[in-house]
Structure formats: structure tokens, C-alpha cells
Amino acid sequence: MDRSMFNNVQKCGSPLRFLTEDEMEEVHTKSLEILQEVGSVVDHKEAREMLAKAGCSVKGKKVYFPHGLIEWATREAPSHIHVYDRDGDLAMDLGGRNCYFGNGSDCPTILDVETGEHRQFTLKDMEDCAKITDALPQLDFLMCCGIMYDYPVTSYEHQYAAMLRNSTKPQVVTATNRESIKNITKMAVAVRGSLEELAKKPLFVMYNEPISPLFHGVEAVDKIMYCAENMLPTNYSPCMMPGATGPMTNAGALIQGNCECLVGLTISQLTHPGAPMVFGGSMYNMDLKCMQPTYCSPEAIVNNIALAQMAREKYKVPSWGFTGCSGGKVFDAQAMNEAAQYIYSIGFSGTNVNHDVGFMNYGLTYSEELLVACNETISQMRRVFDGVVFDKEHEAMEVIKRVGPKGHYLSEEHTLYYNNTEVWQPDLTDRADLDGWKAAGSTTFEQRVKARTLDIINNYVPKQLTKEQDDAVEAILKDADAAAESQEKKR
Amino acid sequence: MSKLSELAKIVEEGKVAEVEAATKAALDEGNEALTVLNEGLVEPINVLGEKFRLGEIYVPELLIASKGMKKGVEIVKPLLVSGDMESQGKVIMVTVAGDMHDIGKNLVALLMESAGFEVIDLGMDIEPDEIVEAVQDNADCKVVGMSAMLTTTMYAMQDTIEALEEAGLRDKVKVMIGGAPVNQKFADQIGADGYSTNAPLAVELAKKLAHE
């Protein structure tokens, strides 16, 4: 499948690194200090027993971690996770400075493309978002984008089915608890054939969170353990709001976020050494006037990149991050300004899994238009970070000598070849001269993005699951709903 | 400047460490305890509350100043005649069963206290019957505020309203809800008395419901 003309490795001689070697060591040692002295609440009995056996001191639900155990865990986790698409082809090599982009999950509302209204998410919206992500060449994975209100207990299973049915791209999935991720795994197995095959060729990465500060909930821990038991990849991302649930300063937020990630990593590796885990967080400060998480603030960008740097350079594990989002309420210049800054920051820093493209309004509203627009920005950014290629053909010495002083290159084969294979071509970006732009309708970028979004929604047909796979998914959904209903009746 | 005005200024400026001495000085100046309370301690917080509502100051400015106010109230309270301290009413605040997210609820609780409510914060992961028990134990409670962060826990709000009905307490309290997955449609569906999208609006809603 044609994912992109440009590769995903960010070629940048001096990548953006906010932390020096000493500063990374400082974050690490301060995290060890907090985890040993202050500890963390691990609200999962079996996990606490496992941690106690491994040398932790446990008092009630509070666990105190010895340095050696944390450092052991960082050495056990793998440095790369290969993720495959629905067809079984390699889609993402998470590790190093490879960068991949996807949308986000569980927004309560969507920005209606036709009416501009902020309205509740529907199943059709979920299907549309999956289709759009499938159609956009620069998007590498999908998340569900919105909340499935119609299914209070099995919303995550229905969300997964919608993603699976409407895109061949790999997914990052959310789940309520062990039972829920088990159901999602069953659906992924319906595509892969077996759990062993799924572990060998993961189709999804699970998304999971602690609760800042320093609290690891029973379901979150259980889900880490489920994934580790089955060697399925997951992240464990603090969704900290510095100023509210974490320190206001970047250094303080980093230390706390690092602590929270390290606990998840330790539980994962103790459950099964070598279990694949993506390390990093979403640490966007709370705006202390409107009291919403900023999602896209300069401080959030710094936190994002710095914690991912810890993952990549200190612990040598795949890194998690977010990008392409805005605090705005409409798809306008602010939305593009914030989203584009964020996307370019990823190019400089090389974070592996970058989600939330298309998020607006503090993560409460999903915008299909912002997603479509960001596809263009990501493709530009990727071309920038392809940098300069040096070889005989690219140095073009033979052409320069032949064209000579005051010649021109317009009719050169060299020009045509590299224009067609490497030069970035605009899609939604306007480059016409003024008269040409007027002749084409004097459209704005917003208008062109809206037209494209509607075109994809109305006309794009993603590759379907086979009938056998689709029937298997439907059967799993029915069982999940029936089990949920019977539990509801018992209550 | 009188010692009373100085106290109000110190409270408004969030100079917590200076409040105790300033409160004593305002009392020593000859002001009635009730006057010191209302003009020296409560009024500056009302001023800050309004500034915060209008987006002119940051929430820590209000909350730190409130800490100072509480220090002053500890000194003044023993000197007051019973019934002098006016309260907006009693509110029970919870994060519902199965949910461990509480920063939003904590923020609303703090702002309610600053606004003069007596807040009973039951914490997080609170079952419907625990909420019913708290309402039974606090007959003067006017409002129950419930928070949820997840679609899988928000239905505990419906369970709680049903539990209050079964216990014959539903018409004794007003129920308001908030949280990321919740909306007005859901509030109407489960029979809540109100829903708010953010913390300052939650305080305004609580004031309205408490006086209905």
C-alpha cells in the first residue's frame, strides 16, 4: 500500500534535544528518588504481590520501588515494536526516530463539517473518521476519534469494530478493562488467525493511562498485565495537567511523568520480561483561567518532546507522543497554527507514535477537517526532514557543467525526473498565480479542506473485511453485548 | 489605612502568612468579630471570585487567598454568635462508583468553599448507597454534585438518582452533574436537576439550586 512518497525517518543532523545527557540522568535519578521515597498507589492486589516479591516495600496500597528493580525493567523492554496492518504488511517500526501519525480517541463531540455545530459523536461519525484516516496517505494508524454513547458498557468493542471494518491501517485502541481488551483482541485474532500470529504481527497497540499524580488504577494495571501476558504492545501515558495534577514547571512535570511511565513499565516487565511497551505521555498544562487542559501550548510541546527523549535516549524504548491538535473551537487559522507547530516539532524531535491529530477544544471535540488539513502539513514536514540526499545523481555535477553559465534547467531530464519523484507537490495548498486562483474559484484553504473532507466521506470506499472476518467480528460484538446485558440484569 | 482594610488587602493579595496577625490586629482595633469576618475575610474572596469568573485572575490566586481566609476564620469563629456565619448551604461532592478521576470534582469543591458553601467531599469511587447514607446523615444538605470522567462510569449517576428515589430522599436534595463524557442530554435523560460544563458555572448552578 502506498503510504507516503517520503519515508518516516527524520533526517536531521542536529535533532531537537531539550535535555543534555546530565539532564536525562537528573530526571532519571529524581524519578528513582520519588518512587523509592514517596512511592505510588498501585490499586491492584495481584500486581502489589508481584511487586512485593520483586523487592518492593508495600504498605496498604502504596508501593515503594527499589532503584534496581526500575532499572532492571528499563533494560528488559524491547527497543523496537513492529506493527502490521490488516493485510499483514509491515506498517510501523516503532523505535529510534521513526515518526508515525494517527488520530485520537474518545472525544464526546464532533465538529460537524456541514453545519459547524459541536454535536454528539455517532457511529456514522466513527465510520467516517476511520474512512478518512484510511484515505489519507500521511496517517499511519487510527484511533476511534469519538465516544460510542449508544453502548454504555461495550462502547470500546463497538469502536474497535468500526475501525477494523473501515480501514486496513493498524490501530491504537482504548478499552474499559481486561474483559474489554480481551474482546478487542478476539476481533484482531479474527483477522490474524491466532493469538500467536497476532503477537508476532501486532495489529494494534493498546492505549492506557495512570491517574496523575502517582496513582495506578485497578483496571489500568490489569490491562497492562493482560497485554504483557500475551506479548501485545501497549503504551502507558500519563495524561497529566501540570498546574493541577502535576508540577507547573517542565522539569517537575517530566520527573513525575517519568515516574508514572516507569511504574507501568516495571509492572509490564515483571508480568512478562520483554513485553512490548511504548513510553511517553501527554502532559499539557491546565490553563489556570479557563481550567481546561491546554493540549497545545508551548509547555505541552516541550514536555511531549522531552519525555519522548527519555524514552528514546535514556531507556531505549519506543516513544509516545501527541501532535496536530488545537485548543480552538473552529477549523480556522488558530487551529492550523497550533497543529502545524506541533507537527513540525515532531519532525525535529523524532517521536515514534504521535496521536491526537485532529483534536480540538481541549480534546472534547474531534475535527475531520483538521485531520484532512494536517495530512498536508505532515507531508510537507516529512519532505523537509528528508533533508539533502548526497550521491552522484543528486549532486548533479554533470548537469551543472552541461547547462553552464546563463543556461536553464527547464528542459532537462534531470529536472523532470526529480520533480516527479522527490519534489513535494501541493494538494490542498494553493500555489496558483492570482489570476489562476481567481479562475479556480478564489477558494480559501478552509473551503478546499471542507470539500475534500466531504468528498472522502461521500465517495471513498475502504477495503472491506472478508465475510468470514466480518461475521466473526459481529459474533464477538453480540457476545460482548449479551454478557454486558446479563451483568446489568444481575445488578 | 485601618487595620480592617489592611486585613482585606492582605487576604485579597494572598499573603497567607500575614493573615493571622492581621486578623488579630483588626479585632484589637475594636471591630466586631462579624465585621472582621464579613469585611476583612469574606468580602475580599467575593471580589476575587468575581474577578475569576470574569477571567481576570488565575485559579491559584483565588485558592491561595481562600487558604488565607480560612486561617482568619479560625480566629474569628469562636468569637461569633451562633448563626452569624452565613453559609450558601451544604453540598456533597463525589466522583462516582468505579471512577478514580477527581481533579475536576476537587476544583469545583474548592471553588464552592471559596463561594461560601460547606462542602462534604466524599472522594472518588463512591457507590450510590454511600451517597444515600451521606444525604441521610446530613439532613441540611441541599445539593449533591456528581462527577465522572468515563462513559463506563457515568451511568452510576443514574443509579445514584434511582437510589435516592428508593430511599425517599430524591426531593430532599438537588442533583447536579459534570465531567467530560456528560452533557445536558444525559442530565435530562437521568433526571438530574442540572449540568455544568466548567467549574465556575458549577458554582453558579449550585447557588441557584441551593436557593430553589
Burial class (CB in 10 A: 0-12, 13-18, 19+), A432: exposed
Strand residues in A324-457 grouped as ranges (E): 353-355, 359-360, 365-366
- Residue B151 has its nearest CB partner, among A147, A211, A243, at A147
Q: What is the pLDDT of residues A256-306, one digit of tens each?
A: 999 999 999 999 999 999 999 999 999 999 999 988 899 889 999 999 999
Distance CA B120, CA A256 (A): 29
- Is there a contact between B199 and A215 if contact means CB atoms under 8 Å apart? no
CB contact under 8 A, B103 and A292: no
Q: What are the residue ranges of CATH 1.10.1240.10 in chain B?
A: 3-79
For residues A229 and B71, give the distance between their C-alpha atoms in angstroms, rounded to a whole number: 52
pLDDT in 10s for each residue of chain A, 491 residues: 344 556 666 676 678 899 999 999 999 999 999 999 999 999 999 999 999 999 999 999 999 999 999 999 999 999 999 999 999 999 999 999 999 999 999 999 999 999 999 999 999 999 999 999 999 999 999 999 999 888 888 999 999 999 999 999 999 999 999 999 999 999 999 999 999 999 999 999 999 999 999 999 999 999 999 999 999 999 999 999 999 999 999 999 999 999 999 999 999 999 999 999 999 999 999 999 988 899 889 999 999 999 999 999 999 999 999 999 999 999 999 999 999 999 999 988 899 999 999 999 999 999 999 999 999 999 999 999 888 889 999 999 999 999 999 999 999 999 999 999 889 999 999 999 999 999 999 999 999 999 999 999 999 999 999 999 999 999 999 999 999 989 877 76
Cα distance between residue A81 and residue A275, in whole Å = 10
User: How many angstroms separate the CA atoms of B93 and A245, rounded?
Assistant: 19
Strand partners, B94: B123, B146
Q: How confident is the model at residue A125, as a pLDDT?
A: 95
Cβ-based neighbours of A435, under 8 Å, separated by 6 or more: none
98-117 in B: which are within 8 Å (CB) of A?
Answer: 100-101, 103, 107
**Cα-flanking dihedrals φ and ψ of residue B117, to 5°?**
-80, 155
CB atoms within 10 A of CB A392: 8
Report the gap between the CA of A304 and the closest CA in chain B (Å).
21
Cα separation of A213 and A243, whole Å?
A: 11
A147 touches chain B (CB under 8 A): yes
Rounded to whole angstroms, the Cα distance separating B74 from A266 reads 46
Q: Round to whole Å and give the CA distance between A250 and A26.
A: 13
Residue A386: what pLDDT? Answer: 86
Q: Hey, what's the cell of A20?
A: 543534555
**Is the Cβ pair A289, B59 closer than 8 Å?**
yes
Put simply, the answer to whether B198 touches A147 (Cβ < 8 Å) is no
Q: How many Cβ atoms sit within 10 Å of the Cβ of residue B13?
A: 15
Tell me, yes or no, if B59 comes closer than 8 A to chain A by beta carbon. yes
Q: What distance in Å separates residue B79's CA from the closest CA in chain A? A: 36
List where CATH 3.40.50.280 sits in chain B: 89-210
Which residues of chain A make contact with B100, given a CB cutoff of 8 A?
43, 211, 215, 217
pLDDT of residue A488: 77
Name the residue type at position A133: T
* A-B C-beta contacts closer than 8 Å: 46
Looking at residue A295, what is its pLDDT? 87
- Using alpha carbons only, what angle is made at residue A107 by residues A101 and A108, rounded to the nearest 5 degrees? 170
User: CB distance from B54 to chain A under 8 Å?
Assistant: no
Relative orientation angle of helices B43-53 and B59-76, to the nearest 10 degrees: 160
A211 touches chain B (CB under 8 A): yes
Residue of chain B with shortest Cα separation from A219:
B98
The torsion angles phi and psi of A392, rounded to 5 degrees, stand at -60, -45
Q: Note whether A108 contacts B183, CB cutoff 8 Å.
A: yes
**Rounded Cα–Cα distance for residues A237 and B100 (Å):** 16
Nearest CA in chain B to A363: B180
Q: Residues B79-128: pLDDT tens digits? A: 987 767 778 899 999 999 999 999 999 999 999 998 999 999 999 999 99
Picking from B110, B99, B14, B105, the residue whose alpha carbon sits closest to that of residue B64 is B14
At A13 the pLDDT is 67
CA B20 to chain centre: 23
Q: What span, in angstroms and rounded, lies between the C-alpha atoms of A297 and A316?
A: 27
B172 exposed, middle or buried (CB, 10 Å; 0-12, 13-18, 19+)? middle
Q: Where along chain A do its domains lie? A: 392-421
B167 at A interface, C-beta within 8 A: no
Q: In this complex, do B152 and A149 lie within 8 Å of one another by their Cβ atoms?
A: no
CA distance A288 to chain B (A): 5
Say whether residue B184 is in contact with chain A using an 8 A CB cutoff. no
Specify the DSSP element, H or E, that contains B193. none
Residue A341: other Cβ atoms inside 10 A: 16
The dihedral over CA atoms of A106, A108, A112, A118, expressed in degrees to the nearest 10, equals -150
What pLDDT shows up at residue A8? 66
d(CA A235, CA A228): 11
**Of A43, A120, A176, which has the smallest distance from its Cβ to B183's Cβ?**
A120
Residue A416 makes CB contacts below 8 A (sequence gap 6+) with: none
Contact across the interface for A120 and B155, Cβ inside 8 Å: no
CB contact under 8 A, A120 and B185: yes
Tell me if the domain spanning B89-210 has CATH number 3.40.50.300.
no
Q: Which three cell numbers stand for residue A23?
A: 539532564
Euclidean distance between CA atoms A245 and B79, whole angstroms? 38
Which residues is A90 bridged to in the sheet? A84
| Residue range B3-79, CATH number | 1.10.1240.10
B20: pLDDT strictly greater than 90: yes
Which pLDDT score, from 0 to 100, does residue A490 have? 74
Say what percent of chain B tops pLDDT 90: 89
Q: Which residue has the cell 474559484?
A: A441
Smallest CA-to-CA distance from A170 within A188, A195, A145, A189 is with A188
Residue A274 has, within 13 A of its CA and on its CB side, a CA count of 3
